Structure 1
């Protein structure tokens, strides 16, 4: 939305408050609400909104990981300004983060992705992306909100009020929903969003997670994107569809004369092969929690590094590929930071193009790291990824994650007590 249109919306008297939001290093949204007049001053004077830097660099429990912090400035991106459909007279806007001297903030998620997008454009390409997050709906006791079967109409009926409102609210903020289904676990649902240019797609996922959580609360249930909230029920994941194009929007994924018979162009093979080459380090961003790796032990979870049509491949060519020219990346958690994840995939894909990497179809390429600690080690030793994402970003991300791992490894679980203490040892 242009500045003029935003001023018109503000002067119409329909908006009294504006949430100025940003995304932290883990992909969580933070922000504060400004009165209309104050927000008008912010955009009139091309200034931002001050926040303590600690908010950008916290763990999942909101604990800062540095001893000293400066200020950061949230610069509203007016292209993301929308009225929140379920809040009275309230709008929201996403921001880029800057330092007080005006220089870019090195840990700004949206800026990190923008930098990768620029490098992709310099090479002559753009990327269209969509997300398909899965989540659980829980009751107040944190148990599944319903026990309907996988893909059953009963599940859609049982949660119809939530689902209807969800689609309505998303479409009112220009996020198109292609499909919603009752997924495999009790109380588990999946939403497929339509494709958009890469930054807009990441913004849409962030907005969708907010709307899903808020709509759930308004329907007296709790939405969680935790990868594996239950031992005996299926995990939650997030497919990402990718479609590579030239900068003028021409498709370059599909080649009907592909000698391997699946319809991929040489550039598509190169790009995907680069992602497979850097997959172990990408995993630390796509599956960013200790809980994530319990997901990969399930039979139905994609866990085979390679390209193929079979659903266990990390990069899959779905049956509709020759119509849509979209491939699926099937490794991510629904709570991953989409900006840093997509940036890592873009850099990996460009490496594949530059090095002319050519993975074979229906072949496995090594094994995935089995723990977060192992995938972080692969990230730390991936010099190409560190150079492109930035040494400082990688260091602070690994620091946050190592604190999480150390805390997890110090816990005494019920399994340990049952296995050792109750067994009489």
Structure 2
């Protein structure tokens, strides 16, 4: 037993923890949990806890159902919203097969595998997400529409505002769990908020995002509201994205930084961006996995619908933020297409794979977009070599289906299940008769 595991067992005894939840996600990024008694933890660390994997989306088929959850002691935290005595704690868990080998269907392992490939080249992948979400009243309107908790806008300071109190409570819980928060503010839509997590390695960030979603929903329920990470919950209002700043480090050196080069961006950084852009369309089904995602991407309001990059250009899919001369280590790239409802393990795995492909193959970075890409005509964008992102989940699925990069990164099991699930989602969506169609056609035709 290592020191971290010993620390966990000692803390559980000292703080009277009676319930330990082991967290993991299914292929779609939905948080799953199994509670174990403290007395079972020592064995769980050594051998894992058995469960029926066939009951979880995408983890196993019925004939290979027996699986294990193996807790990661480094992720141990007491759940602060369960502050009663006895207490409750959580750890993230890795999914294992009965022989102890990693499950190829575990999204956390998909990211670990991608990170290991980068580590073999001496590189560590760091990420910093800006997570947007909406806060709604607990009761819907009679027509079924959600009611935002306020009518404020971007950076608005509302006296005694619901958002202030909510963000303060959520951030306090996050920081009590060791998750550092960098910024928070009201976003552009009514009831829309943003909380930015501090830089961390990509695996820690993905774990933190899953914890973040749980904390936000718990605080919302405690305050009589509900929180949603749906990409586009309100017509005519901004969608909720998860802009993510990324960088690669070689030890303590930022591999994206080169003093004196344009925007202080190294050749490695330029090739990484080129990889993201070249493979953007085929990874979009993973970074934007819901039917509703494409209403955010194509709904304007600075959502990136076109494959291009720019310096401080917020209409571009990839942005190189303003460089701070005294902070070369902060040179980074912002990827603006992700949803805040994406599976972070899979999304960060395909982003890293695309960027690394650009580095490995020496991709050349195309010219930057200096104009507001949304204000250009289709002809102007074509003349500039700016292609669109997929316009629908159906389109994104077809592009992903032919992608060797995505298939290799996700692995055969996750790749096939993900496509099968998304095709079923699109078929169900296509079968719907919407209010729009009834309003437009019922009495006219």
For 1:3, the equivalent position in structure 2 comes to: 5
- Mapping of 1:221-300 within 5 angstroms? 221-246=225-250, 248-258=251-261, 261-300=262-301
For 1:83, the equivalent position in structure 2 comes to: 78
For 1:377, the equivalent position in structure 2 comes to: 398
Q: Give SS of 1:16's match.
A: strand
Deviations along 1:235-262, one digit per CA (max 9) or x if unpaired, are 111100101111x22111111222xx22
TM-score normalised by L of structure 2 = 0.89
Q: Verify: 1:355 aligned to 2:361, yes or no.
A: yes
Tell me how far apart the structure 2 counterparts of residues 80 and 65 of structure 1 sit (CA, whole Å): 25
CA-based RMSD of the aligned residues comes to 1.8
User: Of the candidates 66, 69, 76, which is equivalent to residue 71 of structure 1?
Assistant: 66
Tell me how far apart the structure 2 counterparts of residues 321 and 225 of structure 1 sit (CA, whole Å): 32
Cα shift at 1:66: 5.8
Contact 2:163 2:193 in 1 (8 A): no
TM-score normalised by L of structure 1 = 0.93
Cα shift at 1:35: 2.1
Contact 1:276 1:365 in 2 (8 A): no
Cα shift at 1:214: 0.7
For 1:306, the equivalent position in structure 2 comes to: 308
- Mapping of 1:22-421 within 5 angstroms? 22-43=24-45, 46-57=46-57, 70-87=65-82, 88=84, 89-140=87-138, 141=140, 142-154=146-158, 157-246=161-250, 248-258=251-261, 261-300=262-301, 301-309=303-311, 310-320=313-323, 323=327, 324-363=330-369, 364-421=385-442
Deviations along 1:243-287, one digit per CA (max 9) or x if unpaired, are 1111x22111111222xx222100111111111111011111110
Range moving further from structure 2, 391-400 or 112-121: 391-400
Q: How many residues align?
A: 414
Moved runs in structure 1, 4+ residues, more than 6 A? Answer: none
For 1:61, the equivalent position in structure 2 comes to: none
Tell me how far apart the structure 2 counterparts of residues 75 and 158 of structure 1 sit (CA, whole Å): 39
Cα shift at 1:107: 1.0
Tell me how far apart the structure 1 counterparts of residues 160 and 415 of structure 2 sit (CA, whole Å): 41
Contact 2:263 2:323 in 1 (8 A): no
Contact 1:72 1:100 in 2 (8 A): yes
Contact 2:256 2:268 in 1 (8 A): yes
Tell me how far apart the structure 2 counterparts of residues 269 and 412 of structure 1 sit (CA, whole Å): 45
Structure 2, unpaired ranges of 5+: 141-145, 370-384
Structure 1, unpaired ranges of 5+: 59-63
